[in-house]
Amino acid sequence: MVRDDIWYHVYPLGFLGAEPHNPAPGTHGGTVSHRLRDLVGWLDGTVDLGFGGLLLGPVGESQSHGYDVVDPFQVDRRLGNEADFGHLVDECRRRSLRVALDVVLNHVGRGHPHFVDVLARHRDSPWQDWFLIDFDRPGYDGFAYETFEGHGELVKLNHHNSEVLDWAVDLACCWIRRGVDAFRLDAAYAIPTSFLAKFADRVREENPDVLLLGEMIHGDYVSFIESSHLDTVTQYELWKAIWSSLNDENFFELAHALERHRDFAQQFISWNFLGNHDTTRIATRLKDRRHLPHTLAVLMTLPGLTAIYAGDEQGAEGTKYDREGGDQEIRRPPPLEPEALLKDPPAIWRLHQQLIAMRRQRPWLATGKLTVNHLTNRLISYQIASGDDRMVVTLSTDDAPSPCHVSDKMRPIAGSFAEDPQQLPPHGWGIWCKE
């Protein structure tokens, strides 16, 4: 496991403009759109920004959005075929980019052949024990079965069935042999940790260095990591505190999250982010766009693994709505194509490049010790230290200039500074380093 990776998170079906519904999911042959090859054109820009890994959302055959899987062993025809995926992986390797893949082990789509057989044959189906079914109770398809969070199209798997475990391990090993280095396990919080532990142990027999990321919304992160044998989980607590504290001008919320994050960092290395395929874009979420650099400064200085959702580096906007199809705005293609970015990159793109480079030059940040030094509602200053290395970050949402609370032995390396390097301008931010 690489402990200081910075990942570029792409949701391919949306990023590449695929049709929202698969014309014939689960059938072999038919029309294939070779969209995955279009991602190669983005790889040089990804490297220029400083990323070390590419996290791909689901690429397996699905009914619509990728998480209603029909054949997760096969590349979705809307994205391409196995040769297209292999070409993308080869091009990533040429640029020293690691590849991660989002996989779904909690549920399958109603169109999965095993469940289609259950729909047709009920108790006579040899696949009925793959799912949690009650044929004596009425439900979505004439009988009741467990779903993922009430979505009838997403049929929950029976994780106490050893055949399901074998299937999950085979799935991961199949993609490892195609060149995948890491996996994001969708809805890991809904899967028994005993299942995840067996899965993780067996997959590491195929590749001891595989990185296993679990989607975790809230709860006891440390206990989940210990019992699931995964490497890392999504740090949603931190994500929420970053934008919420800026919008509410209440850095006490962020300070509390940072203290929790400090404790987590002593136990495991977390997956930190400002946005993903399930959340409103950070540029839209913030009430004041002047605070967008503040969010990036926090993300790029904290212990853990770091991920940027594709498009955020361009300041993309979009709202996640709590309704069917409510993900459309946050999953669409980014505003600018690679050629346009090369001609005139926006300021937020350049800031991403600057702060990613800053972090790459200081790999000790991934495991550094975090301390909050100064705190008011509208100003926070915290420190990350490792051995003799030290960094201080100060953020302000005040309408007036603010003191930086930084030793004169520290030198400023990024931020918005007034003429006095010991003072931030209104709504300013700064990063200082002692090396």
Counting other chains too, the contacts that 161-170 makes at CB distance below 8 Å and 24 or more residues apart are 161/129, 161/130, 163/129, 163/130, 164/130, 164/195, 165/195, 165/198, 165/199, 165/202, 168/105, 168/195, 168/199, 169/199, 169/202, 169/203
Q: Above 60 in pLDDT, residue 288?
A: yes
281: helix, coil or strand?
Answer: coil
Give me the mean pLDDT over the 114-122 stretch.
Answer: 97
The closest of 328, 245, 238, 218 to 281, measured between CA atoms, is 328
Query: What is the predicted pLDDT for the residue at 5?
Result: 86
Spell out the domains of the chain, with CATH numbers in brackets: 6-367 (3.20.20.80), 371-434 (2.60.40.1180)
Give the pair of three-digit tokens for residue 22: 């698969």
d(CA 170, CA 167) in angstroms, rounded, equals 5
Q: Which residues, at least 6 apart from 120, have a Cβ–Cβ distance to it below 8 Å? A: none
176: helix, coil or strand?
Answer: helix
d(CA 224, CA 188) in angstroms, rounded, equals 10
Give me the mean pLDDT over the 224-242 stretch.
Answer: 98
Top-confidence residue, 30 or 115: 115
Q: Above 60 in pLDDT, residue 425?
A: yes
> Do 418 and 424 touch, CB atoms closer than 8 A?
yes
d(CA 3, CA 168) in angstroms, rounded, equals 25
Cα 97–283–214 angle (5° rounding)? 45
Crossing angle for the helix pair 221-228 and 193-206, to the nearest 10 degrees: 50
Q: Above 90 in pLDDT, residue 336?
A: yes
Q: Above 90 in pLDDT, residue 273?
A: yes
The alpha carbon of residue 255 and the mean position of all alpha carbons in its chain are separated, in whole angstroms, by 23
Q: Above 60 in pLDDT, residue 353?
A: yes
Q: Above 90 in pLDDT, residue 156?
A: yes
Confidence of residue 4 (pLDDT cuts 50, 70, 90): low
d(CA 143, CA 150) in angstroms, rounded, equals 15
Confidence of residue 435 (pLDDT cuts 50, 70, 90): low
Which of 49-63, 133-147, 209-223 bottoms out in mean pLDDT, i.e. has the lowest?
Answer: 133-147
Rg (CA), the chain: 23
Give me the mean pLDDT over the 403-428 stretch.
Answer: 86
Confidence of residue 121 (pLDDT cuts 50, 70, 90): very high
> Do 100 and 183 touch, CB atoms closer than 8 A?
yes
Quote helix, strand, coil % in the chain, to nearest 5: 35, 25, 40
80-93 pLDDT, tens digit each: 999 999 999 999 99
> Do 410 and 390 touch, CB atoms closer than 8 A?
yes
Query: What is the predicted pLDDT for the residue at 133?
Result: 97
Give me the mean pLDDT over the 407-416 stretch.
Answer: 89
> Do 8 and 310 touch, CB atoms closer than 8 A?
yes
> Do 213 and 189 touch, CB atoms closer than 8 A?
no
* Phi-psi map region of 430: left, alpha, beta (phi>0 left; psi -120 to 50 alpha): beta
Beta-bridge partners for 183: 101, 212
Confidence of residue 139 (pLDDT cuts 50, 70, 90): confident
d(CA 51, CA 367) in angstroms, rounded, equals 18
The residue to which tokens 């475990």 are assigned: 165
% of the chain exceeding 90 in pLDDT? 89
Q: What is the DSSP letter of 336?
A: S
Confidence of residue 175 (pLDDT cuts 50, 70, 90): very high
* Phi-psi map region of 17: left, alpha, beta (phi>0 left; psi -120 to 50 alpha): left
Q: Above 70 in pLDDT, residue 1?
A: no
The overall average pLDDT reported for the chain is: 95
Query: What is the predicted pLDDT for the residue at 325?
Result: 84
Give me the mean pLDDT over the 246-257 stretch.
Answer: 98
Burial group, residue 250, by CB count within 10 angstroms (0-12, 13-18, 19+): middle
Give me the mean pLDDT over the 255-260 stretch.
Answer: 98
Give me the mean pLDDT over the 218-246 stretch.
Answer: 97
Q: Above 80 in pLDDT, residue 3?
A: no
Query: What is the predicted pLDDT for the residue at 408?
Result: 78
Query: What is the predicted pLDDT for the residue at 372?
Result: 97
Q: What is the DSSP letter of 136?
A: T
Give me the mean pLDDT over the 207-216 stretch.
Answer: 97
The residue to which tokens 């002593």 are assigned: 266
366-400 pLDDT, tens digit each: 999 999 999 999 999 999 999 999 999 999 999 99
Q: What is the DSSP letter of 151?
A: E
Give the phi and the psi of residue 397 in degrees, each rounded to 5.
-115, 15
Query: What is the predicted pLDDT for the residue at 2?
Result: 59
The total number of residues written for the chain in this structure: 435
51-82 pLDDT, tens digit each: 999 999 999 999 999 999 999 999 999 999 99
Confidence of residue 140 (pLDDT cuts 50, 70, 90): confident
Beta-bridge partners for 397: none
The CA-atom distances, in angstroms, between 115 and each of 21, 138, 404, 416 are 19, 17, 60, 56
d(CA 158, CA 156) in angstroms, rounded, equals 7
d(CA 175, CA 132) in angstroms, rounded, equals 27
Confidence of residue 24 (pLDDT cuts 50, 70, 90): confident
Which of 149-153, 322-326, 387-391, 420-424 bottoms out in mean pLDDT, i.e. has the lowest?
Answer: 420-424
Confidence of residue 434 (pLDDT cuts 50, 70, 90): confident
d(CA 108, CA 97) in angstroms, rounded, equals 30
> Do 315 and 292 touch, CB atoms closer than 8 A?
yes
- Amino acid (one-letter) located at 179: G
Query: What is the predicted pLDDT for the residue at 29?
Result: 66
d(CA 423, CA 63) in angstroms, rounded, equals 55
